[in-house]
Amino acid sequence: MKRHLILGAVLLIGLACYAEYLIADDKEAIKAFDTVQKVFQSPRCQNCHIPDDSPLQFDAGIPHAMNVVRGMDGKGAAGLPCVTCHAESNPPASYGPHTPPGAPHWSLPPASHKMAWIGLPADKLCAMIKDRSSNGDRDFAALIKHVSDDKLVLWGWNPGEGRAPVPVPHDVFVTQFKLWAQAGGPCPLVGG
Ligand code: HEC
Ligand code: HEC
């Protein structure tokens, strides 16, 4: 009888430690998500990740000049596709500011999954990033690959004359994104 009690107590302590360990792990991952949010909601990223049909410009996020619109596939209206003005790389710095920036597949996300996270609170942003019905059916591995190598993402750190890059170094961002993703993508509670 006594032995059973001791065994039970040992088990309980073990479980408590394990729970504590899990919570600590989640805490670290949720802290890492702060950095993810800072990057995703920086002007260079959120100007394309918008609910309406016009991409945004500048740090102030004002609607794109010349009535540029998304189109069904995100590549612009049939008569005025993004590639009319946006090339596969930025124009040379000697052209000065206000030239159209460039990167491969320059476009908005398609109308069917807009991935519009501009202005979302942390919990909603977190849920959207990992929701496969809204993120182009990407699992965590695919998301890590996207934020590590995608050319539109990398453009954020080389945005062309007159634009400030994303305010967190790319390698720091990827490390924090992985920390969050590999813990299963726990989301912060907002207002709770
Ligand atoms: C020029 C517009 C543009 C810019 C700038 C841009 N994106 Fe995107 N983003 C897209 C498009 C288009 C897709 C959809 C790609 C697809 O589904 O194949 C996308 C998809 C994504 C996805 C995958 C979908 C999801 O919901 O998880 C992530 C993550 C992402 N972008 C992050 C970023 C980050 C971080 C930045 C800034 C460093 C950024 N994007 C800048 C256009 C842009
Ligand atoms: C008629 C030419 C033209 C077309 C078409 C065009 N753009 Fe632009 N875009 C520009 C110019 C020029 C700038 C730079 C404006 C400046 O810096 O003053 C720009 C800037 C941008 C920026 C601002 C980047 C930032 O963070 O400030 C985004 C995002 C963008 N365009 C997305 C798009 C998308 C997406 C499409 C297609 C749906 C598109 N553009 C179509 C000319 C164009």
Specify the amino acid at residue 74: G
* Token pair recorded at residue 183: 């813990």
- Is the distance from CB of 36 to CB of 71 less than 8 angstroms? no
Please determine, for residue 192, whether its predicted confidence score (pLDDT) is greater than 60.
no
pLDDT digits (tens, 9 = 90+) for 12-46: 887 777 766 667 679 999 999 999 999 999 999 99
Say if ligand 2 is within 6 A of residue 129 CB.
Answer: no
* Token pair recorded at residue 123: 């919990």
pLDDT of residue 3: 80
Q: What is the length of the chain?
A: 192
Q: Residues lining ligand 1, judged by CB closer than 6 Å?
A: 39-40, 44-45, 48-49, 74, 106-109, 115, 129, 135-136, 138, 143, 146-147, 152-153, 155-156, 166
Atom of ligand 1 nearest to the CA of 86: 1
Protein residue with its CA nearest to atom 41 in ligand 2: 82
Mean pLDDT along residues 89-117: 96
pLDDT digits (tens, 9 = 90+) for 116-175: 999 999 999 999 999 999 899 999 999 999 999 999 999 999 999 999 999 999 999 999
Distance 29 CA to ligand 2 centre (A): 35
